[in-house]
Amino acid sequence: MQRGVVGAANLNMVLQEALNPHGEGLRRSGFVYRPNDKVMQIKNNYDKEVFNGDIGIIESVDMQDRTLLVNFDGRRIEYDATELDELVHAYVTTIHKAQGFEYPIVVMPVLMNHNVMLQRNLIYTGITRAKKILVMVGTKKALFYAVRNVTVTKRNTLLKERLASEIQVRKPGRIYYLDFGNPAASMQMVAEEKAPYGNE
């Protein structure tokens, strides 16, 4: 989760102060962005060609021009101070944001503070983000609660109803039965009328 003492937002602030406490940085919405901070893009930005979930390192901060430069795997992208709402610190991330990624080492808090999110599928996703080492910090009670919680939220998409009006089931035109006493036994058994597909 983002909120709470052990939420991603607070843990990012705590870890930034522990790992990268010094140096000037740009401030926005109560956060400070310093050189060497690990950050994540949280919105698709097609102009900059950076996308939701991309992780980079702040290389430099220009206090005079109020810009910073982020290195995304060798691609250097400049952000103006007004664009910092597209970046969050990424010392910690939620399991939702980590989906599709793997990391050498994962430290995952599992506490009853997260009781709304304690579900078996999320625990599984968190565990499988780790390539080599997984460290779970928390309580056995929270882990057992999550493992037992297999409730899957029902999704009301109306997909069946939407497809029903688009799909028409067509029956075969005529059926022919093979006569094995007939030399033409190799004839086609089933002939279907040509069914239109799409707009044809």
Q: What pTM, to 2 d.p., does this model score?
A: 0.68
- Tens of pLDDT, residue by residue over 154-196, are 666 777 777 777 776 666 666 655 665 655 544 444 444 555 5
- The whole-number pLDDT of residue 200 equals 44
Residues of the chain within CATH 2.30.30.940 domain(s) are 8-89
In this structure, of 23-32, 39-48, 97-106, 144-153, the range with the lowest mean pLDDT score is 144-153
- The whole-number pLDDT of residue 131 equals 95
- The whole-number pLDDT of residue 39 equals 96
Question: Average pLDDT of the chain?
Answer: 84
How far is residue 33's CA from residue 20's CA, in Å, rounded to a whole number?
Answer: 10
Q: Show the beta-strand stretches assigned E in the chain.
A: 26-28, 31-33, 38-41, 55-62, 67-72, 75-80, 87-89, 103-110, 130-138, 174-175, 190-191
Contact 70, 56 (CB under 8 A): yes
Q: What is the CATH number of domain 8-89?
A: 2.30.30.940
Q: Helix-strand-coil percent breakdown of the chain, rounded to 5? A: 25, 30, 45
- The whole-number pLDDT of residue 81 equals 93
Average pLDDT for residues 89-111, to the nearest whole number?
Answer: 91
